[in-house]
Amino acid sequence: MTIHGECFCGKIQYEISGQLRDARSCHCSRCRKAFSSQASAYALVEPDEFKWLDGESLLTDYVNQYGFGLQFCKNCGSTLTGIYQGVVNGVTLGCVDGDPKIEIGRHIYVGSKANWEVMPDVSNQYAEDRLSGDKLR
């Protein structure tokens, strides 16, 4: 399977020669700010299956003190990928073109969701991450 994605302005494009995995929606305050939304929609990718097709020079990075970060389009501001120590390890689902044949498997950090957000009626909700074992539904 080949998956394509691009930023809002279309100047940055990528290709994934494989499957996405572990799709999740994070509702923490940090993701709300990073994605300018009520939550993130994100899936992991094998780094060796990801490649930039066009516009890589338009990328800008934000990396935290632990080496985790996000890559954005300098032109339109779209958040495209997650990185760890400079290597792409995930993509934002909003920038994926077409049907990537994956569904969000869990909603994490719903314990810190925005008060104005109404959660969908889904069973896999965790106050923190699934590794904490603190499942809400």
End-to-end CA distance of the chain: 33
**Token pair of 103 as six digits:** 């569904």
Per-residue pLDDT at 94 = 94
pLDDT for 89: 96
Q: How confident is the model at residue 130 (pLDDT cuts 50, 70, 90)?
A: low
The predicted structure's pLDDT at residue 134: 57
Give the number of residues written for the chain: 137
pTM as predicted: 0.84
Instruction: Report whether 78 contacts 7 (CB < 8 A).
Output: yes
Name the CATH architecture for the domain at 3-132: Alpha-Beta Complex (3.90)
**Percent of the chain residues past pLDDT 70, beyond the cut:** 92
Q: What is the β-pairing status of strands 50-54 and 13-16? A: antiparallel
Give the residue extent of every domain in the chain: 3-132
Whole-number pLDDT of residue 112: 87
| pLDDT tens sequence across 15-53 | 999 999 999 999 988 888 888 888 889 999 999 999 999
